[in-house]
Structure 1
Amino acid sequence: MTGSLEFHSPLSPERARRIVDRLAGGHPATVLDLGSGWGALLLRLLDAIPGATGVGIEINTDDVARGRDLARRRGLADRVEFVEESAVGTERGPADLVLCVGSGHALTETPGDFAGTLRELRRLVAPGGRVLYAEGFWQRTPTDAELARMWPGATGADHTDLAGLVEIAVGAGFRPVWTETATEDEWEQFESGYQADLEEWLAAHPTHPDAAARRQKADSHRASWLGGYRNVLGMAYLTLAPVGR
């Protein structure tokens, strides 16, 4: 249940506005959103760039349907297409602007292959274009106890630090023209919003047949955040320019 979220990442409306203004200033004609979810940032960009067209690639059926509905409501249905398919090896590029916001895993078949993800982004962006790549990074080295409370099988190799992430981007053929990271408040808004609808439902339906399973899901996620990756896992928003060939 994510109806309380505008963005499926720790991204405030204020930061989103700044990112949109910066990216729209390049006047991209085509926008490709990889692992788009419901395309909240994609739709904002199309609102800000008259005449631009966009494609959102997403494998989650509900998110695709939500994206199409939002596009209709915003009068953008004729300028954006949400497709339910894998982004691995996609041939839907190149595009002037490529978005990959917290969904780098959608581009490779190997978890944690940040170099592979960035090579794919380099392949999919048009010459002179831009990439917005949002990815997790370790703010500090997690302890064994913290790793044990995170997602199943979490290890220190799941992420690099911010400097390492940016160096991987440079190695893939980009220059980092803008580097910014989510604040603690953005993380708290995201995590609370992610759980809010489910917690409200649980408070109102304590004896529902599905309550036990949903309660376990909510409690598990909250423990993972508060006892595991809170103030350990960061989120970087990198605006990348491809180096000319």
Structure 2
Amino acid sequence: MDDELNALRRTRMRWNTPLSEAHAELLLDRMALEAGQHLVDLGCGWGELLLRALARTPGLRATGVDTDLTGLDRGRAAARERGVAVDFAESDAATWAVPAERAFCIGAAHIFGSTEAALEGLTRVVPSGRLLYGDGFWAAPPNAAAEEIFGPDTLTLPDLLDVARAAGWRVLHFSTADQLEWDDFESTSRAGWQEWVAAHPADPRAAEVRDWLDGRLGQYVRDYRGVLGFTYLVLGR
């Protein structure tokens, strides 16, 4: 897909994770955010959860880190519109070395190479404080197609919690995405392109986009709906 279409794909997504508004508020509560703390979001995308944290806790110092220029530009525009100060940094989250009292790392373990590497590396970012960590896990035994999509390093939830503790984290809170959150996430991940195809049915790129949309929906309902879970851990050190 070209840059124009890639920029449109996630435009209907609130954030790039299966998470409801109410669930997000619960997680922010558990992070115990306070004015004066530095909060860094590693693999932030467009940083919507970071912006929500700022809105409810004025006085936070906020940094979003990613290499996705489209996402960073969207985040900067949203911050300007809402009148909040966020430093959106184009940088590799896996090598970020500025310590903070609070951090988010949601759906970004692949940047570090694995869940184990992410949870170990994040101890250097949060030497003392709290981390909101989000990651996929096998909620049910996967078929071969799901294993191929998500890779051999995906863990079960008990194993993921064990890895967190082995890296020196205390599990202060955990919760998992429910089916409605997953279905909404998958639907909104397709909605930007669904709208584009409906508005441009004769565009030469429309057939390729329709094929991708149909393939993504098929993979979801056939291969990993109810099989891949997603957990949110509030971890402390």
Same fold by TM-score greater than 0.5: yes
Output the amino acid matched with 2:143: T
- Cα offset, 1:25, TM superposition: 4.6
Q: Could you tell me which of 189, 206, 209 is aligned with 1:211?
A: 206
Write the deviation string for residues 202-243 of structure 1: whole angstroms up to 9, x where unpaired: 22322211112211221221122111111000000000011x
Matched, 1:83 2:89: yes
SS at match of 1:4: coil
- Cα offset, 1:57, TM superposition: 0.5
How far apart, CA to CA, are the structure 1 residues paired with 2:32 and 2:211? 42
How far apart, CA to CA, are the structure 1 residues paired with 2:107 and 2:13? 15
Alignment of 1:122-133 (within 5 A): 122-127=123-128, 129-133=129-133
How far apart, CA to CA, are the structure 2 residues paired with 1:50 and 1:102? 26
- Cα offset, 1:28, TM superposition: 6.1
Alignment of 1:94-173 (within 5 A): 94-106=99-111, 108=112, 110=113, 113-127=114-128, 129-144=129-144, 146-147=145-146, 151=149, 154-155=150-151, 157-173=152-168
- Cα offset, 1:194, TM superposition: 0.7
How far apart, CA to CA, are the structure 2 residues paired with 1:87 and 1:3? 23
Unaligned runs of 5+ in 2: 1-8
Question: What TM-score does the superposition give when structure 1 sets the normalisation length?
Answer: 0.89
- Percentage identity across aligned positions? 37
How far apart, CA to CA, are the structure 1 residues paired with 2:163 and 2:205? 44
Write the deviation string for residues 25-78 of structure 1: whole angstroms up to 9, x where unpaired: 55561001000000011111111222111110111110000000111111113x
Output the amino acid matched with 1:147: A
Map of 2:78 onto structure 1: 70
Output the amino acid matched with 1:213: E
RMSD: 1.6
Map of 2:51 onto structure 1: 43
How far apart, CA to CA, are the structure 1 residues paired with 2:140 and 2:92? 32
Question: What TM-score does the superposition give when structure 2 sets the normalisation length?
Answer: 0.91
Unaligned runs of 5+ in 1: none
